[in-house]
Structure 1
Amino acid sequence: MEQWEREQIRSANADLRSALDAIQDDFDREMAELGGVQRKLAAMKVHATTPNNLARVTVNSSGVVTEISIADDAYRRSTPRQLTDELNTAIRGAVEAAAEARQKVLGPITSIVDGMPDLNEIIPGAPSLRDLQTKFSQPPQEQQEQSR
């Protein structure tokens, strides 16, 4: 093997090592933030009230309804159909608000991942970290639907 070939291999190796070190640094930073993000998501509760204050709905960070509180006089102030419609409106609003709040909490991690090269761009055949990040940033219900 010629000297210039060895130098090319060393240079390519150094470039690969540098790229992998940058990915490792970004990954370490992301993992340090991940614990806080998980705690925020676990504690997140989003509330929505029906348009006529007949009920209040609470959802978690995934948009799953965790509580519904109906006003004591809701049955006197509305019909079952109206209460149902208002509950559905409040649930949709709470789910949308939870999705927005979730994206804000995930923002720092998303910006780190978006700024770094994906592993499969550096090492052919390696798994895509962006695909994993997309999968895990979705609420569990959407993850189940996509796996079908």
Structure 2
Amino acid sequence: MYRDNAHRMRKLFEQVLDSYDLQQAALDDALKELSTASTEMTSTDGRVTATVNAAGVTTAIELADNAFRGATPDELSRSILEAVHSAVHTAKQRTDQIIAPLTSAELTPDLDDVLPDAAEIRELRESIVDRFDRALRLPEPDDRPNTK
């Protein structure tokens, strides 16, 4: 009986370690991809193109040659906000796609599967993902700052 339990525990621990190695490799790949990811979006009027990184931080804003022709400062301001907002939204979707495989609860046995009173890593992972989502949540169009 003791040997059976020890053998099962050893097998489960080996599965956890193997899964950890796979997750670490996947995390390294995701971090590489996120570190070089950028998203570029152009306003619907074509006056402004905004580029953001994977975290949604604006890294460049380009104005078309005709950006100032026939546009009021208010219109140009709205075009900038539109381009940036679209780029951030698209970058967030792409970031979610990149990290989705890392947040799957089925990837590994949880710590409490091995040690019954241990904390659940799944809950911690979900909490981190939830915080990340809330930090990057974009305001709804009606909540955006007024440029007037």
Partner of 1:33 in structure 2? Answer: 26
Shift of 1:107: 3.5
Partner AA of 1:78 in structure 2: A
Q: Which moved more, 1:102-111 or 1:88-97?
A: 102-111
**SS in structure 2 at match of 1:75:** coil
**Residues 1:77 and 2:70 are matched in the alignment:** yes
Q: Which moved more, 1:134-143 or 1:74-83?
A: 134-143
Equivalent positions of 1:103-122 (< 5 A) are: 103-111=96-104, 113-122=105-114
Return 5+ residue gaps in structure 1 as ranges.
Answer: 1-6, 144-148
Structure with greater proportional helix content? 1
Provide the C-alpha distance between the structure 2 equivalents of 1:96 and 1:109, rounded to a whole number of angstroms: 21
Shift of 1:41: 0.6
Return 5+ residue gaps in structure 2 as ranges.
Answer: 137-148
Larger Rg: 1
Equivalent positions of 1:9-28 (< 5 A) are: 9-28=2-21
- Asked if the contact 1:58–1:68 (Cα under 8 Å) also holds between the matched residues in 2, the reply is yes
Assess, with a 3 A threshold, how the Cα gap between structure 1 residues 44 and 138 changes in structure 2: closer, same or farther: farther
- Find 1:60's aligned residue among 53, 60, 74: 53
Provide the C-alpha distance between the structure 1 equivalents of 2:40 and 2:86, rounded to a whole number of angstroms: 9
How many residue pairs end up in the alignment? 135
State the superposition RMSD in angstroms.
2.7
**Residues 1:43 and 2:49 are matched in the alignment:** no
Assess, with a 3 A threshold, how the Cα gap between structure 1 residues 134 and 60 changes in structure 2: closer, same or farther: farther
Q: Percent identity?
A: 24
Shift of 1:77: 2.9
Assess, with a 3 A threshold, how the Cα gap between structure 1 residues 82 and 121 changes in structure 2: closer, same or farther: farther
What's the TM-score once normalised by structure 2's chain length? 0.75
Q: Which moved more, 1:64-73 or 1:47-56?
A: 64-73
Provide the C-alpha distance between the structure 1 equivalents of 2:13 and 2:126, rounded to a whole number of angstroms: 18
